[in-house]
Structure 1
Amino acid sequence: MQDIWRHIHSLLPMRDVARAACVSSAFLRSWRCHPNLTFSRTTLGVDKKAYKNGAIARDFPNKVDHILRNHSGIGIEELAVTLPMKTSYNFPCSLLSNGSGHSIQSLHLAGCALRPTTELAWLKSLSKVRLQSVYFTGDGLGCLLCNSLALEWLEIRCCDGIVRLKVPCVLQRLRYLEVIGCDKLEVIDSKAPNISSFFYEGDRVQLSLGEALLMEKIHIIFSGAVHYARAELPSSVPNLKIAAIRSSREITTTPMRHSKFLHLKKLSIALSTGTFSPGYDYFSLVSFLDACPSLETLILDVSFYSYFYPSNLRKMQGQQHHKIKSVKILGFTSARSLIELTCHSLFRCYVPIHKTRKCSPLPIDVLMEAQRAVLAIRTYIEPKVPSMVKLCVVELCRRCHAVEL
C-alpha cells in the first residue's frame, strides 16, 4: 500500500505532497521519498512582500536545508533550486553526500551560489544540468563537471563569474552544450568528444570545440560569427548537418576557403542590425554555397537596409548546387551584392514578409526600400529564373500600407 501512495504522490506537485504529509504518517513517509524536489519562491510559499523586503534571504535557505536534511534519501530524481535573482544562498552540497543525492538525474540551479567540495560522489547519476545566474568560487564549476561522468545535457546561462569554461574529456556521454549570456566569459574549451549539438550566444570568445566528429547541429550568435563559421568550423566539425549563424557585426566579408562542409544540409545566416558597412558584400556568402555540396536549404535573414541600383552584375564560377531545394531570403533589399548572390544560387527563392491581421506601421524609408527591392527582383532576377524553379515574392500589404505608399 505504501508503494501505491508513493507512486500517486510522485505524480503530484511538490507543494501538494508536502501539504498531504500533514494528514497522516503514511503520507509523511511518501513525502520524504518524493522524487522531484522544486524549491522556488512559489513552492515554498514565500510571499512577494517578504521577497521584496529581503526576508527570502533568511527564510529560503532554512526551508530548503530542512527538507533536504529530512528526506529519506530514497529516489530523488529531479532537484531544482531556483530564485529569481542572486542571493547569498549556498547550495547545500554536503546534505546530498549521505546517499540521498545518488539517484539525482536532473539538477537545475538558479540565483544561488555553488561551492562544491571534492566529495561529490552523489553526482554519479546526474545526466542533465541547468545553471542560471549561479555564482562559483574557485574551480567550483570544474569540480562539478569532472564528477558528473553520466552528464548528457549541460546548460549554462548568465553565470557572470565564469571566465574560462573547460569541458573535460571525461564527459564521454555529453551530447548537448548550451552557453548563453555569460558576460565575463573569454574562453570555451571543450574536450568532450561526443557532443552532437552546440548553442552559444554572447560576446566573441576564444572558441575551441576540439575534434567534434559527432557534432551535427550548431547555433552561434556573436559579432563576427559569419567569418568565424566559414574560416574555423569546417575543420573542427566536419560532419555538421545543420548550422544557424547570427551576427550583428562583421569587420570583413566572408573569406573564400577550400575547406568544405561535406554533410551540411541546412544553413541559416542572419545579419541583424548592428555595425555593418552600408556596402557589405553579400556576394561573399557564395563561399558558403560552394563549401556545402550537400546543402538542401538556405535561409538568409537581412534586417538592416543597404541599397543601390545594380549595374554590371558580377558573376562567379562555382559548382552547381543541384541538391538545393529551397532558398529563403527575408528582408530582401536592392543591394547589388544581394542581387548577385540570389542570381548565383537561382534555385528557389522565397522572400516573405510575416503578416498578422493588420500589419504594423513601417517607416517611410523601409517602405521605399521594399518597393526598390521588388523592382530589383523583377528587373534583374526574374528574367534569369529557370523554368523548373519557382520564384515567390511576397510584396508589401497594400491594404495596410496604402496610405504610406
Structure 2
Amino acid sequence: MSSTSTKLRRAWIYHPNLYFDTSIVFASSDRHKRVPSTETFIDTVNFILRMHSGLGVNKLAVIRPLRQPGKKDIDGWVSFAVTSKARVVILNFSPYHGSHDRRYNFPCHLFNGKSGSHLQVLQLDTITLGPSPPGFCGFANLTVLTLENVLVLGDLQLLLKCPALEWLTIRMCSQLHNLYAPEPLPRLAFLCVQDCAIDKIDVQAPNLTTFKYRGRFKVIIALRECLKLKTASIASPIEDNLYYIFTELPNGLPHVERLHVNVFVKTQIPGFTQAPHKFINLRHLTMRITYEIAKRFGRNAVLQLAYFLEAAPFLVDLHLDSLKRACITGFNGNGGQVALVKFILRNAVKLEEMVIDPKGRITNQMMGEHKGRRMIKEKLVPKDKNGLLVIL
C-alpha cells in the first residue's frame, strides 16, 4: 500500500466518517491518474479499515460499482460497521447493468441480536435484499431507509422489524410488486415510492404526513387509515390517465389537504361526468399537465380539469403550471364549466389565450348555446381582467 501516505493512514485511525469512493484511493496529488481497478479499491478499503481503531464511527459509506465476487470483502466492511456501532451505513454499487445473480446480497444476518440497534440510517443502491433470516431481530433504532435499484426478494417484510422508521424511500425497485405492512409502522412520517412496477401500496402508518408517488397509474393506493396524511405528490409524466386521479385517488388518499399532480394528457373527452369519489379535505391543488402535441389531441383536454372541481368541492387554491392556451368547445354555461374557466383565468399564470366556443354541433348542445353565451357575458367577461377570453 505504498500509494497511501503515512499522513493519510494516521488520519483514518480515529476518523468518525468513513467515505470510500475512487477519489480516496490516491492522494490528492495523484488524482489525475486513471480510476483504480476494483481490486485496488477493495485492497485500499480493507487496509484502511484494518488500521482504524473502530472507535467513534458515525458513518461508513462505500460508493463504487461492485458486485457479488467481492462478497467476502464487502461482508467484512459491513461487519466493521456492526462492531464499530456505526449509525449510518451507505452501500452504493451503481451503476451495474449485469445479471441480478451477480449483485451483492445485503447480509441482514450480520445484524443479529442487539448488533443492529445502533444503526439509524441505511441506504442501499444496486444490491439484492432477500427475506429476513430466521431469528433476525431487525433494526430497533433505524429511522431512515432508502432503497434504490434494489432487487427485493419478497414483500419487504423487513419494515415490520423497524419500529422506529420515520423516512422510507423506494426507487427503481422493479421486482417489488407490493408494499404491504399488515402491522402499524408507528413513527413513519414520510413515504416515497418512485419508478417501481408496484401494484399496491398498503401500509398502516398513523403518523404519516407526506406521500410521494411516481410511476404507472395502475397502482392501488390504500392509505385511508393514515389520518395525518395531509400532503401528497402524484406523477406519471408519460402515461395518459388523468381519469385515475379523480376516480381512484380520492378513495385511497381521502385525508389529503395539499396535492401536487404531474400528468401527461392526450385524450380528448366530450364533456363532464359526476366524480364517483370526493376529495372532501383537499384545499390546495398544484397541477403540471403536459399535453399531446398533435392537434387532434388535447384541444379540449383541459376540460378534464372540471372533474377536479367536482371531486374537490372545498378546493380553495388551484395552480396550473405551464398552461398557455386553453380551448373549451360546446360551452353551455353549466356550473362546472363556469367554475373551471374562472379557476383557469385566476390561476394559470402563464395563460396567453382562453378560447370559448358555445356553438353546439348536436341538438342538445345547440339548445344550450344561448344559455352559454349569456353565462359568458354575465359570469366570465367581468372576471377577464387581462383580456384573455376569445369568444367564437
Query: Is 1:197 matched up with 2:210?
Result: yes
Mapped to 2, the partners of 1:107 and 1:148 lie a distance apart of 11
Query: Is 1:109 matched up with 2:115?
Result: no
Contact persistence 1:348–1:390 (CA under 8 A): no
The equivalent position to 1:239 in structure 2, one of 225, 242, 255, is: 255
1:3-402, aligned counterparts within 5 Å? Answer: 9-10=15-16, 13=19, 28-29=52-53, 31-41=54-64, 56-57=66-67, 60-71=70-81, 73-84=83-94, 85=96, 87-97=102-112, 99-115=114-130, 116-139=132-155, 141-142=156-157, 144-183=158-197, 185-203=198-216, 204-222=218-236, 223=239, 225-249=241-265, 255-257=273-275, 259-274=277-292, 277-292=297-312, 294-301=314-321, 313-317=331-335, 343-345=341-343, 348-352=346-350, 373=353, 384=380, 386=382, 391=386
Shift of 1:20: 12
Mapped to 2, the partners of 1:24 and 1:306 lie a distance apart of 62
* Length, aligned pairs only: 329
* TM-score, reference length from structure 1: 0.66
Contact persistence 1:242–1:267 (CA under 8 A): yes
Mapped to 1, the partners of 2:144 and 2:109 lie a distance apart of 20
Instruction: Write out per-residue CA displacement over residues 167-198 of structure 1, whole angstroms, 9 at most, x where no aligned residue.
Output: 33321221221111113x22222333332211
Return the letter of the residue paired with 1:313: F
Return the letter of the residue paired with 1:256: Q
Unpaired runs of 5+ residues, structure 1, are 42-50, 319-336, 354-369, 394-405
> What is the identity percentage for the equivalent residue pairs of Structure 1 and Structure 2?
24
Instruction: Write out per-residue CA displacement over residues 64-116 of structure 1, whole angstroms, 9 at most, x where no aligned residue.
Output: 22223345624321111111126421111122225432111111111111123
Contact persistence 1:265–1:296 (CA under 8 A): yes
> Secondary structure of 1:179's match?
strand
Shift of the 150–71 alpha-carbon distance from structure 1 to 2, 3 Å rule, reads: closer
Shift of 1:351: 3.4
Mapped to 1, the partners of 2:235 and 2:49 lie a distance apart of 53
Shift of 1:234: 3.3
More strand by share: 2
Shift of the 344–7 alpha-carbon distance from structure 1 to 2, 3 Å rule, reads: farther
Shift of the 279–375 alpha-carbon distance from structure 1 to 2, 3 Å rule, reads: closer
Shift of 1:226: 3.0
> Secondary structure of 2:245's match?
helix
Shift of the 263–6 alpha-carbon distance from structure 1 to 2, 3 Å rule, reads: farther
Shift of 1:206: 2.8
Contact persistence 2:86–2:119 (CA under 8 A): yes
Shift of the 217–248 alpha-carbon distance from structure 1 to 2, 3 Å rule, reads: same
Contact persistence 1:255–1:287 (CA under 8 A): yes
Shift of the 127–7 alpha-carbon distance from structure 1 to 2, 3 Å rule, reads: farther
Instruction: Write out per-residue CA displacement over residues 252-283 of structure 1, whole angstroms, 9 at most, x where no aligned residue.
Output: 67642375434323212233245994444533
Mapped to 1, the partners of 2:92 and 2:116 lie a distance apart of 18
Mapped to 2, the partners of 1:307 and 1:109 lie a distance apart of 47
Shift of the 121–247 alpha-carbon distance from structure 1 to 2, 3 Å rule, reads: same
